Every structure is written in structure tokens, then in C-alpha cells.
Amino acid sequence: MPSPKGPPELKHLDHVLVTPSAIKRRIGTLADQLNHDYAHKDMMVVAIVNGALIFAADLLRALRTPLRLDCLRASSYHSSTKAVGEPRIVDQMKLDVRGHNVLLVDDILDTGKTLAAVAGMIHAKGAATVRTCVLLDKKARRAVPFEADYVGFEIPNEFVVGYGLDFNERYRNLPCIGVLKPKYYAGL
Ligand code: IMP
Ligand code: MG
């Protein structure tokens, strides 16, 4: 649980886009949908870490479907707010997806390149179905045609941090989603 005061880096935020209570409520609704849609299915959740770590942890604890969890790590960011090059899978998953109903979980759908690449890879490995669930969707930034099956919040085209999302690997522990004051994005 975050301390009542929250981490000191909350002061680095210019504004909050999604509050902790709104996140909690929305995850409850997403979990209801998933519990319904996967009621009689074998489910394999694949979280794209580090970004999806906190979202996946909260979402999974609201799921009643028996499931297995695996993680993979994709990378296209090089310490900036812009993706550089094509996403690479830098740490592969361990479970065999063949014949399984895979739910890919990520923090944010931005250009769509990461989820398009990872979903394609999991299809190619022989998954029975591949669906995607993201906490945030920045539709304005889409560079490839890709839509998630389950979306927490649509947000405007701003670089956000918190609740798993980072800027230069910081701010992942903020309990809300917010936009940093311009001086904290300095050096880009
Ligand atoms: P995409 O491949 O462009 O869709 O980007 C996917 C990844 O970029 C996400 O999983 C995030 O890790 C990162 N990303 C995109 N937008 C943001 C943002 O606003 N804040 C923090 N990370 C972001
Ligand atoms: Mg990510």
C-alpha cells in the first residue's frame, strides 16, 4: 500500500490524469469483463514488463479464472520519451503458448508497434487465441493499425508516468497516472 503521503516524487507532477481510486474502479470493471469472457477457458496471461507490472498485479488479483502467468520484456526506448527503432523482445517468456488463450497485458498502447510485434510473435508460436488488455490507450500516436481488446482509459497525447509507467526508469511507483512538470523532462 502506498503511504498516506505517497512518494515524494508526486511533487514532480504537473497534473494527475487518472487517480488511484479511478484506476481501482476501472480495473474492477475490466476484471468483470475478463471473468465473463474467459469463464470457461484456459487462460495464459503474458505481462510485458516492466511497464505492465503494477497493472497486471492488480488486475490478476481481481480475476477468478484459473490462469497461468508469464512475462516478457520488450524494448524500443532508449532513455527518452520517444520510441527509437522497432521493438525488440529482449527477454523471452518461458511457458509454451501452443493451444492456449493468451491475454497480453501492457501498460499503454502508444504507436502500437510493441503489441503488434508481440501479438504476432505469440500467434506464430501457435497460441489458440491472442487478446490484448492495456491500462492506457493514446490513440493519437498510433503508427500501425492495432487496437486492444480491453482498454482501461483513453488518454490524450501526453507522456505520462506512474502506476508502472516510467520516465528514465523513474516514477513507476507513483499510485496515480500523471504528467511531469516540464523541468523534469529536461535533457531530452
Ligand atoms: P508502443 O510500441 O509505441 O505502443 O509503446 C509501447 C511502450 O512504450 C509502452 O509499453 C511503454 O512502455 C512505452 N510508452 C509509451 N508511451 C508512454 C508514456 O506516455 N509514458 C511511459 N511509457 C510510455
Ligand atoms: Mg512497456
Instruction: For residue 128, give the CATH number of its domain.
Output: 3.40.50.2020
Nearest CA to ligand 1 atom 16: 110
User: Within a domain: residue 77?
Assistant: yes
Model pLDDT, residue 81: 66
**Number of folded domains in the chain?**
1
What DSSP designation does 66 have? -
Q: Is residue 174 part of a domain?
A: no
Output the CA 7–ligand 1 centroid distance in Å: 22
Residue 9 inside a domain? The answer is no
H-assigned helices in the chain? 20-37, 53-60, 113-124
pLDDT for position 3: 60
Residue 17 lies in a domain: no
CA of 79 to the centre of ligand 1 (A): 12
Closest among 164, 181, 173, 184 to 8, alpha carbons compared = 173
Q: Does residue 86 lie in a domain region?
A: yes
- Give the range of the structural domain holding residue 55, as residue numbers without chain letter: 25-156
Which strands form 129-137's sheet, in the order they lie side by side?
A: 83-91, 67-77, 43-49, 101-109, 129-137, 150-154
Burial classification of residue 54, based on how many CB atoms lie within 10 Å of its CB (0-12 exposed, 13-18 middle, 19 or more buried): buried
To 5 degrees, how large is the angle CA 75–CA 132–CA 94?
Answer: 60
The pLDDT of residue 87 is 85
Query: Are 179 and 13 contacting, i.e. CB atoms less than 8 angstroms apart?
Result: yes
Q: Per-block average pLDDT, block size 10, for the chain (188 residues)? A: 76 98 98 97 96 98 96 75 74 93 98 95 96 98 96 97 97 98 82
Output the CA angle 21-33-107, nearest 5 degrees: 55
Q: Model's pTM, two decimal places?
A: 0.94
* pLDDT, position 84: 63
- Residue 117's pLDDT is 94
CA–CA distance, 54 with 32 (Å, rounded to integer) = 18
Structure confidence at residue 126 (pLDDT): 97
Is position 152 within any domain? yes
Please tell me the predicted confidence (pLDDT) of residue 91.
Answer: 81
Report residues whose beta carbon is within 6 angstroms of any ligand 1 atom.
Answer: 51, 77, 83, 87, 106-114, 159-160, 165
d(CA 31, CA 9): 30
Q: Please check whether residue 166 lies inside any domain of the structure.
A: no
Task: Say if 14 falls within a structural domain.
Answer: no
